Amino acid sequence: MSPSSGLSRRSMLKRGAALAVAPAIATLAGGAIAEPAFADDTLPDYAPVPPASLGPARNEQGYYVGRVRRNLYWITDADYIAAFLTTKDGVVLFDAPPTIGHNLQRAIDEIAAANGVSNKVTHLVHSHHHSDHIGGSSLFGRHVTRIGHAENKRLLVRDNDPHKPVPDVTFEKHYTLRVGGERVELASHGANHTSDNIYIHFPNHDTLMAVDVNLPGWVPFNSFNLNEDVPGSVAAPAKTLAYPWKHYIGGHMGRLGTRQDMAVYQQYLDDIIDGAKRSLTDVDPTPFFVKYGNNTWSAVKQYQAAQVAYAAGPVIKKYTGVLAAADVYTDSTTFILLESIRLDLGLDTQIHP
C-alpha cells in the first residue's frame, strides 16, 4: 500500500470516534477548518466488521505484542504488523512500520525482559520498499544488518529516503538467514504487490510472512491493494499455500492469519475474476456508446461501471459478513482485475478485419 494512504487511515483508526475525524483531517491539512467537509448524516453506512476479522486489544501505549510460536513474536497497532525473532545473538526484526514506530523497541524490550534475552536488534529484514512498512527502519541506527531483495536496494537508492536505509545484504532468488542458531528462508517468486516483495518463511515456527498479499479477515485495500503486478498478485496466494505453515503474517489489519484465511481470500479473487470474465460478454456496450456519441470517455466510464456492478454484486453479497469491508472495496478491486483480464491476459481483444 502507498505510504500516504496508510498514514491517513492510521490517523483515523488511532482516533477511533467519528467526531474526531474532522479535527484529525484539519491537522493533516496544516490548519483548522471552519466546518466539517461532511456531516455525519451524509456519510454512507457499511456492513459491520465481522468480529473474527478483528485482532486483540492494544495496550495503553497503542500496541499489542504476542507470541506466534516459540521465540517468534508479532506486534501490531491494529493497522500494521511487524514480527521479530529473539535469538542468543540478538533480535531479528521483520519490517519497521512507522505507525508502530518506537513501540517496536518497546515491544522487543517487553519480551526480552520477560524471557531474559537480549533486546538488541542486530538484523532487519525488508519485506519490500514501501515506506508504510519500513519507514521506521532508521530508528535502529547504522549498526543493524539490513537484508532485502536486490530490487529492494535499487528502489531504495532511487527513493533516497533517510528513513529507509538501503539493505546491506541482497539476494535475487533465495537467501538463508542464520542468526543465533535460528534459520529463516527468504525468497522471491516473481513480482506481486511490488517487484521486490518477498516471501519470509520460518520453517521451525510453522509461519509464513508475505506482506500485502492477503490481509487476513479483510478484502484488499482500495484498487486491489495498489498492487503493481496484478497477475503476479492473483498468483501469490497459491504460492503461499505451497509452503508448509500454520501461522500467517500479512502485514496489516491487526491479526494473524491461517491457511483457511488464505483459501477464502483465494476463492474471493476467483469469484471476482469469474464475474469479470462473464461481464465481457454479458454486458452489452451498445446503449452506452449510442447515448454518449462522440464523448467516448463517458461511454467507456458507464460501460465499465456496469461491468463492475455485474461482476462485483454477487461477490459483495457472498462475502459480506465473511470478509470485512466486502461492501467497501470489492468494486475497486473488481475494476483492477477486469482491466488486467483485458490488458494482461488479452481477453476481449478484437482485431479489426
Q: Which stretch of DSSP H or E encloses residue 292? A: helix 286-292
* Confidence at residue 42, expressed as pLDDT on a 0 to 100 scale: 85
- The per-residue pLDDT for range 151-197, each reduced to its tens digit, is 999 999 999 999 999 999 999 999 999 999 999 999 999 999 999 99
User: Which residues are CB-contacts of 74 (< 8 A; sequence separation ≥ 6)?
Assistant: 65, 66, 68, 81, 82, 83, 249, 256
The owner of cell 461501471 is 305
Please give the pLDDT value at position 40: 72
Among 25-34, 106-115, 258-267, where is mean pLDDT lowest? 25-34
Whole-number Å distance between alpha carbons of 38 and 17 = 15
Average confidence score pLDDT of the chain? 91
Q: Are 248 and 263 in contact (CB under 8 A)?
A: no
- Predicted confidence band of residue 330 (pLDDT cuts 50, 70, 90): very high
Q: Cβ distance 123 to 90 under 8 Å? A: yes
Q: How much is the pLDDT for 3?
A: 45
Predicted pLDDT at 39: 66
The 10s digit of each residue's pLDDT in 107-136 is 999 999 999 999 999 999 999 999 999 999
Instruction: Compute the C-alpha angle 328/334/338, nearest 5°.
Output: 165
Note the pLDDT of residue 303: 97
* CA-CA-CA-CA torsion sign (29, 34, 37, 38): positive
| Percent share of the chain, pLDDT over 70 | 89
Evaluate whether 177 touches 195 at the Cβ level (below 8 Å): no
pTM of the model: 0.89
- Name every residue whose Cβ is closer than 8 Å to that of residue 333 and which is 6 or more positions away in sequence: 219, 220, 223, 224, 272
Identify which of 73, 128, 150, 143 has the alpha carbon closest to the alpha carbon of residue 106.
73
